[in-house]
Amino acid sequence: MLTGSRILLIIGGGIAAYKSLELIRLLKGAGHAVSPVLTRAAEEFVTPLSVSALAGEKVYRDLFDLTDEAEMGHIQLSRAADLVVVAPATADMMAKMAHGHANDLASTLLMATDTPVLIAPAMNVRMWEHAATQRNLATLHGDGIAVIGPDVGDMACGEHGPGRMSEPAAIMAEITRRLSDGPLKGKHILVTSGPTHEPIDPVRYIANRSSGAQGTAIAEALTALGAEVTFVTGPATAPRPRGARLIEVETARQMLDAVQAALPAAAAVFCAAVADWHVTNAGSSKIKKDATGTLPTLDFAENPDILATISKGADRPPLVIGFAAETDDVIAHATAKRARKGCDWIVANDVRPETGIMGGTSNQVTLITADGAEPWPLLSKSDTAARLAARIAEHLT
């Protein structure tokens, strides 16, 4: 871990602000310096004196402090830290961050910083589940803001559900992970995930049965090893990975464009279940059934082969990994696919319905490389991802 790191801790105005005092104690105990910032609302829950006493430093509160601003103090403060932590991050704070507001010290610091940012949301369950908060969360994920929590539990308002700020020990563990010098630190890795949707008309589409859970797990495992991950996903149902740069697409052609725009990269993991075809005569309005029983005619064309395009392209990453979801002759088909596509590795799995792999929580894969086939045991998707991320790190370092 980077010893002696400086943490800029922004404390938002919510009942969970009391947990920030324990977080400061943990940070100081680990040898970190803490520059605390209190919003005006936060002062309703914790006092500047208690925060300053625990941090051993001045508490910053006002954007227009003339002593600090004579030297553009808010700019220096925002960039002197190794990590910016917002705990608790209220719904209002998240909205300000998502929309670029800078009307107080905390929001101005967040706009002026080029330092990585970690937020710990805390709010009422209805506020957390509100469409506006979820839109803001998606925007922050896309901006590369890391998020921990919220947890599910009882709240001060008497309700139960997601919205509790993560416990200080969990936040401390996440801070430690983000300050660690992982084997993939500084390496950009591209991950594709989820299905693609190819429209038939505004109502119907062609898709593959993919939740995107394995792709999310891989992105998070790579982030845990220090990688800078760009996550290109189709309309997946799985949660988006924390800490990755998020790019959301719908069709295979959009995914290819996004992938090419994200290069160069040290490695690319093509986990997405991309539809092989798209409809060339898709309807601009819903295709209706004919009273005569005549079936509509759909014309198909092949989608671009994203894996082959990148594997054989000028901006090819040093390590290209594909996935092969097969229902029969898994090893033979995956081995042939590796040769045909020109990628380095193929992660193959048996996705027959009776396996429960597609859409499930576990996976059993075989890693196909130039050296042959290496079967892995049945693991959770998180453990499969961690094992693959470790192999990637071993190959790249």
List the domains of the chain with CATH numbers: 6-179 (3.40.50.1950), 188-396 (3.40.50.10300)
Tokens found for residue 56: 């051993």
Across the range 381-392, mean pLDDT stands at 93
- Compute the mean pLDDT over every residue in the chain, rounded to the nearest whole number: 89
pLDDT tens by residue, 269-300: 999 999 999 999 999 999 998 888 888 899 99
Residues in contact with 53: Cβ distance below 8 Å, sequence separation at least 6, in sequence order: none
Q: Are 348 and 326 in contact (CB under 8 A)?
A: yes
Query: To which residue do tokens 């839109």 refer?
Result: 135
pLDDT of residue 74: 60
Average pLDDT over residues 50-65: 87
- Predicted confidence at residue 334, as pLDDT, reads 95
Q: Is 323 assigned to a binding site?
A: yes
pLDDT, tens digit, 9 for 90 and up, residues 86-128: 999 999 999 999 999 988 999 999 998 888 999 999 998 999 9
DSSP string, 355-378: G--TTSSEE-EEEEETTEEEE---
Q: What are phi and psi of 93, to 5 degrees?
A: -65, -45
- 30 by Cβ neighbours in 10 Å (0-12 / 13-18 / 19+) ranks as middle
Active-site residues, by number, are: 157
Question: What residue type is 104 in one-letter code?
Answer: D
Give the pLDDT confidence of 313-336 residue by residue, as tens digits. Answer: 999 999 999 999 888 899 999 999
- Nearest alpha-carbon partner for 37 in 132, 135, 142, 113: 113
Q: What is the pLDDT of residue 73?
A: 59
Candidate from 66-80, 162-176, 289-303 with smallest mean pLDDT: 66-80
- Determine if residue 307 is labeled as part of a ligand binding site: yes
Q: Is 276 annotated as a binding residue?
A: yes
| pLDDT higher than 50, residue 66 | no
Q: Residue 10: pLDDT above 60? A: yes
Q: Residue 3 pLDDT > 60, yes or no?
A: no
Q: What is the pLDDT of residue 292?
A: 85
Element (H, E) at 325: strand 319-326
304 is in an annotated binding site: yes
Q: Which residues contact 108 (CB under 8 A, 6 or more apart)?
A: 63, 74, 78, 102
